[in-house]
Amino acid sequence: MNYNSDCQKAVAENLKAIYTAATLGQAEEALSHFSSKWDNKYPSISRSWNQNWHNLSTLFK
């Protein structure tokens, strides 16, 4: 078992839940979940998503 590989897969799955969400609300909820789960280890990921949310959220309009 490769911890880093497993961790990367889990991060990717949680990010996928954001950009494949059916609605803006679901995407925001998935981003919140991602932040609470991964910010201790990878704070720059959700920080980047949040800083660019005004552009990213147009995917759901």
- Find, among 25, 43, 51, the residue nearest to 34 by Cα: 43
Instruction: Kindly state the average pLDDT of the residues 32-48.
Output: 96
Average pLDDT over residues 18-41: 96
Q: Is the pTM of this model over 0.85?
A: yes
Burial of 9 (0-12, 13-18, 19+ CB in 10 A): exposed
User: How many domains is the chain partitioned into structurally?
Assistant: 1
| Domain that includes residue 42, residue range | 3-60
